[in-house]
Amino acid sequence: MATTHTVLDSPLGALTVVAADGALTGLYFEGHLRMPPADTLGERDERGFEDARVQLAEYFAGRRTRFDLPLAPRGNAFQQRVWELLRGIPYGETRSYGALARELGDPGLAQAVGAANGRNPVSIVVPCHRVVGADGSLTGYAGGLDRKRFLLALEEPAHARAARLF
């Protein structure tokens, strides 16, 4: 499996995008809490990342609400299930850890869901930023809470923004 990476500019700083055999395996912020060691990212290569570059630019410009990229995040079966649920959270919406645990069939799994969410290797594309505490509070984010706030504000529906003005 040939692993390569590139670094893209974004409103949130440099994003390291990693792929193996044409599928994204990682998307990390500068200073990401769980950034893998540089020697595991493969060679830097701009080729093969065109779709990711375009789709991320569209997302940050507010013109894309869903990604259509091949994904191959590495994780155990439980993590994969949680990451699949994350992909189902619609743009502009949030879910609590407990709600995701209930979707998995066991409300007692909220902490395990939180741990899997925190290990999501494909930030933004697999929208772990859309997961919040039961009371709506922003909880940890491997990219930092300021970035989580930014992403949630970017996705906030216009009617919700307007309602806050009055």
Residue 52 known to be catalytic:
no
In one-letter notation, the amino acid at residue 90 is P
Q: Which of 18, 128, 151, 152 is catalytic?
A: 128
Residue 132, Cβ density class (10 Å: 0-12 exposed, 13-18 middle, ≥19 buried): middle
DSSP 46-91: STT-HHHHHHHHHHHTT--SS----B-----HHHHHHHHHHHTSPT
Q: What angle do CA 140, 143, 144 make, to 5 degrees?
A: 55
Question: Token pair 């697999």 is at which residue?
Answer: 126
Residues annotated as catalytic (active site), given as ranges: 128
